[in-house]
């Protein structure tokens, strides 16, 4: 088989790229290791920048997002039992949209299915060959059969644990990583959200986040030890701990209920450079990871997709390689800024095991500065709603 672009990974990056290419008349085959239901069972991101929303519009898959997504004009930050508001709309003119990654991925799967564009699920042993030549190809196994696709380009959209990044030789690849000494315990519950905006809370017992998916579905997180497992936490223990980490007035309003999902995610900052090797281009979590504190993971994947789409369209439509040649440089410039923001916002809100009294004072005054200084709030808001592409 032959196609123009093989997309390894059918998560949000791969599906969005596939749909945008399809709209521009460029053929792609998506290869996904898991089943559709498995991918849709992963509860992840909830906050979309308007840049990602614009790409969903361009892909023709934004109708439900506009109908069901919540427009958030700001966010709440809590510390010392108080809470303050950062007004994104006033400071930047731009809101964010709260719409689950699960739903966005479902919309993209439905669109791919409706368009008849090829996607193979449950593929094994994907290997990318000759990426540093003009004739790359990809081999894999599907239901026990060996398959091969020849192509012009390979998009590595297979997440942090995928094969694409590993295809780039270690002599070329440079990796930057920071791990954090805690995780996030997340709970999804069929209860109304406690507030109409997200609440990011710094408390002496550790970080907490109140988020949502819709009017009757809430998503809450608390900082936990890396050694914890979800089974260690009964629903009761989770709700009690969450309440202790929120201002009293908020805790009193919190409606609790049985969890319908409970999981722990470690926090990591990670970037690989370059994001291109020959005709292989890395996109999304395959190339970089941020701690979820600034809600940047899915949104940085989207800017990669935009830069790669532009490069591929220039190549196919004008025979110009400039966009592809500059892909890695352009993508990384934006990625590192999102890495900085996510790292800073994480350091503002969590308790670290080795934090001294001095460190705590610094953290408290950093938050107070954000509360009291409009320039700082604007810088925060610009980062949160998404820096320009």
Catalytic residues: 72, 200, 292, 296, 384
Within 8 A by CB and 6+ apart from 45, the residues are: 100, 101, 292, 295, 297, 298, 299
Q: Are strands 28-31 and 5-8 parallel, antiparallel or unpaired?
A: parallel
Residues 52 and 298: beta-carbon distance below 8 Å: yes
Nearer to ligand RFL, 55 or 126 (CB): 126
Minimum distance between the CB of residue 357 and ligand RFL, rounded to whole angstroms? 31
Pull the structure tokens for residue 176: 């930057």
By a kind-dependent CB cut-off of 5 to 8 A, residue 9 interacts, out of ligand RFL, ligand PHB, none, with ligand RFL
What 3-state DSSP class applies to 160?
coil
By a kind-dependent CB cut-off of 5 to 8 A, residue 219 interacts, out of ligand RFL, ligand PHB, none, with ligand PHB
Among 206, 297, 323, 386, binds ligand RFL (CB under 6 A): 297
x/- track of binding to ligand RFL for residues 299-338 (CB under 6 A) = x-x-------------------------------------
Q: How many residues bind ligand RFL (CB under 6 A)?
A: 37
Nearer to ligand PHB, 299 or 363 (CB): 299
Q: Is 152 in the site for ligand RFL (CB under 6 A)?
A: no
Nearer to ligand RFL, 57 or 364 (CB): 57
Residues 10 and 32: beta-carbon distance below 8 Å: yes
- Cα angle value 91/96/102 (rounded, 5°): 165
Q: How far apart are the C-alpha atoms of 73 and 83, rounded to whole Å?
A: 16
Residues 335-364 that bind ligand RFL (CB under 6 A): none
Minimum distance between the CB of residue 38 and ligand RFL, rounded to whole angstroms? 7
Among 186, 193, 291, 311, binds ligand RFL (CB under 6 A): 186
By a kind-dependent CB cut-off of 5 to 8 A, residue 265 interacts, out of ligand RFL, ligand PHB, none, with ligand RFL
Minimum distance between the CB of residue 188 and ligand PHB, rounded to whole angstroms? 9
Q: How far apart are the C-alpha atoms of 190 and 209, rounded to whole Å?
A: 17
Q: Are strands 199-202 and 208-214 parallel, antiparallel or unpaired?
A: antiparallel
- Cα distances from 346 to residues 208, 269, 343, 383, in angstroms, run 11, 10, 5, 14
Residues 367 and 82: beta-carbon distance below 8 Å: no
Q: Is 292 in the site for ligand RFL (CB under 6 A)?
A: yes
Q: Which residue is nearest to ligand PHB (CB)?
A: 46
CB-CB neighbours of 226 under 10 Å: 12
Minimum distance between the CB of residue 224 and ligand PHB, rounded to whole angstroms? 15
Q: What is the DSSP string of 249-261?
A: HHHHHPPP--EEE
By a kind-dependent CB cut-off of 5 to 8 A, residue 293 interacts, out of ligand RFL, ligand PHB, none, with ligand PHB
Within 8 A by CB and 6+ apart from 293, the residues are: 200, 207, 267, 342, 345, 346, 349, 350
**Partners of 142 in the β-ladder:** 123, 145
Name the site residues for ligand PHB (rule: CB under 6 A).
45-47, 198, 211, 219, 292-295
x/- track of binding to ligand RFL for residues 95-134 (CB under 6 A) = ------x---------------------x--x--------
In the chain, where does DSSP find H-type helix? 12-23, 36-40, 50-58, 63-68, 88-92, 101-115, 164-167, 235-244, 248-253, 297-318, 322-325, 327-349, 357-372, 374-385
By a kind-dependent CB cut-off of 5 to 8 A, residue 123 interacts, out of ligand RFL, ligand PHB, none, with ligand RFL
User: Considering only 29-37, 59-67, 248-256, 323-331, which stretch makes contact with ligand RFL by CB under 6 A?
Assistant: 29-37
Residues at the contact surface with ligand RFL, assessed by CB under 6 A: 8-14, 31-34, 39, 44-47, 101, 123, 126, 157-159, 161-163, 184, 186, 265, 284-285, 292, 295-299, 301
């Amino acid at each position: 088989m032959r196609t123009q672009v093989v997309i390894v990974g059918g998560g949000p990056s791969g599906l969005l790229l596939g749909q945008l290419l399809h709209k521009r008349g460029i053929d792609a085959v998506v290869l996904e290791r898991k089943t559709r239901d498995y991918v849709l069972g992963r509860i992840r991101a909830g906050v979309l920048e308007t840049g990602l929303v614009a790409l969903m519009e361009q892909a023709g898959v934004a109708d439900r997002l506009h109908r069901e997504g919540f427009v958030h004009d700001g966010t709440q930050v809590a510390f010392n039992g108080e809470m303050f508001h950062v007004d994104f709309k006033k400071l930047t003119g731009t809101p964010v949209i709260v719409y689950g990654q699960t739903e966005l991925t479902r919309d993209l799967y439905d669109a791919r299915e409706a368009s008849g564009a090829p996607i193979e699920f449950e593929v094994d042993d994907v290997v990318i060959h000759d990426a540093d030549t003009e004739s790359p190809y990809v081999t894999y196994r599907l239901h026990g059969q060996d398959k091969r696709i020849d192509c012009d380009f390979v998009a590595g959209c297979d997440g942090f644990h995928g094969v694409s990044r590993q295809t780039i030789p270690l002599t070329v690849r440079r990796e930057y990583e920071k791990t954090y000494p805690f995780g996030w315990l997340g709970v999804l519950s069929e209860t109304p959200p406690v507030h109409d905006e997200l609440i990011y809370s710094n408390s002496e017992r550790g970080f907490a986040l109140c988020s949502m998916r819709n009017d009757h579905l809430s998503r809450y997180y608390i900082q936990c030890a890396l050694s914890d497992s979800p089974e260690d936490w009964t629903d009761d223990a989770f709700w009690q701990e969450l309440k202790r980490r929120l201002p009293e007035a908020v805790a009193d309003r919190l409606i609790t209920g049985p969890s319908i999902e409970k999981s722990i995610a470690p926090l990591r900052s990670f970037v690989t450079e370059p994001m291109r090797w020959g005709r292989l281009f890395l996109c999304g979590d395959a190339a970089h990871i941020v701690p979820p504190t600034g809600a940047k993971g899915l949104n940085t994947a989207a800017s990669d997709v935009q830069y790669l789409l532009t490069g591929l369209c220039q190549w196919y439509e004008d025979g110009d390689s400039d966009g592809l040649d500059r892909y890695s440089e352009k993508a990384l410039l934006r990625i590192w800024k999102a890495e900085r923001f996510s790292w800073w916002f994480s350091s503002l809100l969590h308790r670290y095991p080795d934090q001294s009294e001095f460190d705590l004072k610094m953290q408290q005054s950093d938050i107070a500065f954000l509360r009291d200084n409009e320039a700082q709030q604007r810088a925060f808001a610009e980062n949160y709603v998404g820096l320009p592409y």
